[in-house]
């Protein structure tokens, strides 16, 4: 586990090194059968969970699939696409349902001898009220009305105040972890392909995914195979997507 002191260490990668890593990442569709070492997988997952996330509640989980029989079951679930023949697939799951345990975990795993009073208060009182939507979302409905009234006088954080908000909340943080995961594998010399093309009900049955978990992608991982990249990179001009103010 990364220590508190290590978190204070300045970043060592240069802008040029970071650019080279990011530019080298492509969605690879064909892989060799060479397995990915467990030590590499573990290192990359450790880097994935260093991603920034809302209130440090880390609303994600991962299923690491290496078993050939299970990978064979996943191939038709992934529409029989070539990338799904990778020797490793990681199911990246957003977890809007784990916030209660996460609030307790922050206190239990706090990296200093004493948990600051403001931290203990936030995760025992403020956060549970903020993220709890209540049975059938009724508490969320109440909070939406409350913030409308209170927001007349001052700026407020108005979400998440519904089950839909909670799903979006979890997906945003998990997507950041997924990007960390892809770049981590790239740094080890392994290619990746984030797959959204899958039959979700069948995926849930094959992997026994918890009902409230949201599969946001299946990440295929391995050594790049011949003709693994289908097309040259295409990105729209920056001027179309950025507003300078």
Query: What pLDDT is stored for residue 57 in this prediction?
Result: 98
d(CA 27, CA 178): 13
Query: What pLDDT is stored for residue 5 in this prediction?
Result: 38
- Extended beta strands in 133-242, E state: 191-195, 214-222
> Pairing state of beta strands 88-94 and 60-65?
antiparallel
- Does position 2 have pLDDT exceeding 50, yes or no? no
pLDDT digits (tens, 9 = 90+) for 160-214: 999 999 999 999 999 999 999 999 999 999 999 999 999 999 999 999 999 999 9
16 domain residue, yes or no? no
How is residue 88 annotated by DSSP?
E
10 domain residue, yes or no? no
Spell out the residues 6+ positions from residue 74 whose beta carbon is closer than 8 angstroms to its own: 65, 84, 89, 203, 206, 207, 218
245 domain residue, yes or no? no
The parent domain of residue 80 ranges over 25-225
Strand partners, 27: 192
Alpha carbons within 13 angstroms on the beta-carbon side of residue 91 total 23
| 73 exposure class (CB count in 10 Å sphere: 0-12, 13-18, 19+) | middle
Tell how far CA 30 is from the center of its chain: 23
Work out how many domains the chain is built from and give that number: 1
Query: What pLDDT is stored for residue 148 in this prediction?
Result: 87
41 domain residue, yes or no? yes
182 domain residue, yes or no? yes
| Residue 10 pLDDT level (bands cut at 50, 70, 90) | low
- Does position 88 have pLDDT exceeding 80, yes or no? yes
6 domain residue, yes or no? no
126 domain residue, yes or no? yes
CATH of the domain at 124: 3.40.109.10
12 domain residue, yes or no? no
């Amino acid at each position: 586990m990364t220590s508190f002191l290590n978190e204070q260490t300045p970043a060592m990668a240069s802008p040029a090194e970071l650019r080279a890593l990011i530019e080298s990442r492509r969605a690879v569709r064909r892989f060799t059968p060479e397995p990915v070492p467990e030590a590499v997988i573990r290192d990359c997952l450790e880097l994935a969970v260093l991603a920034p996330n809302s209130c440090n509640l880390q609303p994600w989980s991962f299923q690491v699939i290496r078993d050939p029989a299970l990978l064979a079951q996943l191939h038709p679930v992934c529409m029989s696409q070539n990338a799904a023949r990778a020797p490793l697939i990681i199911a990246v799951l957003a977890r809007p349902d784990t916030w209660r345990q996460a609030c307790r975990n922050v206190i239990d795993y706090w990296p200093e001898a004493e948990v600051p009073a403001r931290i203990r208060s936030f995760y025992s009182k403020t956060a549970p009220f903020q993220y709890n939507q209540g049975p059938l979302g009724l508490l969320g409905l109440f909070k939406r009305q409350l913030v409308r009234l209170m927001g007349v006088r001052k700026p407020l954080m108005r979400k998440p105040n519904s089950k839909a908000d909670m799903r979006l909340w979890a997906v945003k943080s998990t997507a950041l972890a997924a990007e960390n995961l892809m770049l981590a594998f790239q740094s080890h010399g392994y290619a990746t392909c984030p797959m959204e093309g899958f039959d979700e009900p069948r995926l849930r049955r094959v992997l026994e995914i918890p009902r409230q978990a949201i599969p946001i992608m299946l990440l295929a991982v391995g050594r790049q195979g011949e003709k693994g990249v289908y097309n040259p990179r295409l990105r729209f001009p920056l001027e179309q997507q950025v507003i300078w103010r």
